[in-house]
């Protein structure tokens, strides 16, 4: 057998990354690995039928292998098209029918989060707020108290300053669940996406009313709200991409 033929046989016996490293060894090795027949043999393991066709379905079998064979799980997200500088959030909170908080909140507040949380904040809520997942947190000032039985509802719209469009995040919803581990009253709403993205399954926006531990279980002493998208968007860029595909009107 010629040296080159031996190289080809060895090459076929290698595994994924070793194979890719071969290309960098020398010019001769690179020439050998450019033989598309080699890549066809590799592709035939996974797609025998495709490899029976006279021509590769992509430009070369090498391309087919590089693109689909090595399953790329970690796709890097493109930089988001939206930026927080361009966004503002319209937040309203009612107890029963009384409006008690109504503000436009923009970037700095959302990202600074709560630097100095109020005293009496429970440890578990403290840990939660320091967690790594990206959350949007707004201080509710002045703080307010509401009896536990009272209905507390909330609306959140997001606006774009560049084109004056608005999208709905929370559509006047009543906090209907309290997590007593972290002292949060919670509610979720399904996001409405642009008709350009018809196949996106239900993604929830969560809103939490954060309150302190007053040792009085019949009263909610609220100091902030948190908006997050749980597993759907965990980083700042993911949140921006998610907001980008909302149904902007
Ligand atoms: C908000 O909720 C009301 C009912 O309470 C519904 O009629 C309306 O379509 C909802 N709007 C959006 C944007 O989901
Ligand atoms: C309360 O919230 C914490 C932190 O997010 C979570 O780990 C826990 O499962 C929640 N508990 C309940 C009962 O929902
Ligand atoms: C809890 O708060 C309510 C309303 O402010 C008050 O009437 C009640 O006396 C308080 N209970 C205790 C145990 O402090």
Peptide bond just before 105 cis, omega within 30 deg: no
Q: What would the mean pLDDT of 172-197 be, rounded to a whole number?
A: 93
178 Cβ closer than 6 Å to some ligand 3 atom: no
List, for residues 127-177, the tens digit of each pLDDT value. 888 877 788 888 888 888 898 889 999 999 999 999 999 999 999 999 999
Name the pTM for this structure.
0.76
Average pLDDT, the chain: 86
Q: Looking at ligand 1, which residue's alpha carbon is closest to its atom 13? A: 168
pLDDT category at 74 given cuts 50, 70, 90 is: low
What ligand is nearest to the CA atom of residue 182?
2
Closest CA to 65 of 110, 26, 121, 15: 15
Residues with CB under 6 A from ligand 2: 128, 179, 181-182
Res 54: pLDDT: 85
| Gyration radius (Cα) of the chain, Å | 27
């Amino acid at each position: 057998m010629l040296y080159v033929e031996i190289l080809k046989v060895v090459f076929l016996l290698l595994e994924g990354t070793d194979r890719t490293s071969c290309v960098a060894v020398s010019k001769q090795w690179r020439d050998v690995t450019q033989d598309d027949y080699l890549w066809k043999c590799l592709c035939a393991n996974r797609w025998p039928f495709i490899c029976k066709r006279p021509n590769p379905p992509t430009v070369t079998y090498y391309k087919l292998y590089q693109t689909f064979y090595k399953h790329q799980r970690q796709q890097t997200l493109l930089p988001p098209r939206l930026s927080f500088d361009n966004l503002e959030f319209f937040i309203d909170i009612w107890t029963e029918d009384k409006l008690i908080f109504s503000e436009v909140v923009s970037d700095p507040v959302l990202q600074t989060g709560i630097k100095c949380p109020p005293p009496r904040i429970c440890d578990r809520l403290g840990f939660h707020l320091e967690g790594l997942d990206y959350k949007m947190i707004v201080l509710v000032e002045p703080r307010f108290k509401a009896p536990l039985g009272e209905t507390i509802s909330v609306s959140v719209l997001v606006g774009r300053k560049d084109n004056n469009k608005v999208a709905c995040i929370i559509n006047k919803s009543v906090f209907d669940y309290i997590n007593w581990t972290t002292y949060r009253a919670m509610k979720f709403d399904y996001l409405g996406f642009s008709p350009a993205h018809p196949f996106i399954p239900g993604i929830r926006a969560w809103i939490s009313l954060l309150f302190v531990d007053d040792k009085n279980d019949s009263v909610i002493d609220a100091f902030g709200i948190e908006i997050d998208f749980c597993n759907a968007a965990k980083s700042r860029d993911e949140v921006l991409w998610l907001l980008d595909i909302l149904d902007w009107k």
